[in-house]
Amino acid sequence: MATPAPLSDLKRRFEIPGIAKIVDGHGGRPSVQVTTPRASGEIYLHGAHVTSWRPRDAEEVLHVSSKSKWQDGSAIRGGVPVCFPWFSTRAEDPHSPAHGLVRTKSWQLEGITHADHDVTVALSTSADEATRRTWFGEYHLLFCATFGEQLRLELIVTNHGTSSIRFEEALHSYFHVGNVAAVKLRGLNGAAYLDKTDAQREKHQHGDVVLAAETDRIYRNTLSTVEIEDPATRRRILIAKEDSRDTVVWNPWSEKAKAMPDLGADEWRQFVCVETCNIGDHGITLAPAQAHTMTALISLSAL
């Protein structure tokens, strides 16, 4: 495992004065804070985890729990966790870490670039001795987060091994809303989904998605943009994507949220997860030296 670079070295190599600064974030973990005329944002090296994106004159778009654990071995609750090489519980070994191996790793900062008022932060991580004990894949991940009027997230997986690898991937985005019970999700009408709250039964969406109880659905073969219509904040959050065949919609609702120690009281009311994924039989197979890129593009419009 690569040794994390000292904060002073990261500052010297990568900071852009007045645009991108590297700071000790929560729990003493390094984060990159971005400020431009168009937007502000933040990404942690811990998990390559985006924790903030706020376009100019707009409220925060992402939700991070007030009770999130900022410590080794724990994933940040909220923002945009990166799930790889499996999603949720690993089918072959339910004792493996939920959502894969990279949410709790310290990633390497590869670069920060500034062009046309947009700032791109690039982070990477690769297979190491610790990950090989759980999963055989010789992977290299590059995660690029571009902060501007839109938030562009790209996860690039490269197979550095000598045999094919198969993996699942997800950008597990938590979106801040005024009242989850009042939101409507558009763009999934007619899609088939697996209902994880009902023994994985396959169902079909009719009309807009409205949340009224614990919701955990894998929408299949979804390529179109999903819109979160949020009357409380009088805005729409739009999630477009590329090279992703699945969309997960999740909220734990009240009872399940009570059992989550890293989620603040009643915070389940303030977010909905709309996740860009390739999971299950849509998992990706890469031959040696091949690469795959999955992209989410997030934007706002007035309601």
Catalytic positions, written as ranges? 172, 275
Rounded-to-integer distance, Cα 257 and Cα 267, Å: 8
Rounded-to-integer distance, Cα 143 and Cα 163, Å: 23
Ramachandran region, residue 187 (left: φ > 0; alpha: ψ -120 to 50; beta: rest)? left
Q: Which amino acid is present at 231?
A: P
Rounded-to-integer distance, Cα 4 and Cα 45, Å: 9
Q: Report the largest interatomic distance among the alpha carbons of the chain, rounded to a whole angstrom.
A: 54
* Phi, psi dihedrals of residue 257, rounded to the nearest 5°: -60, -35
Which of 187, 219, 220, 110 has its CA nearest to residue 154? Answer: 110
Judge contact between 172 and 81, C-beta under 8 A.
yes
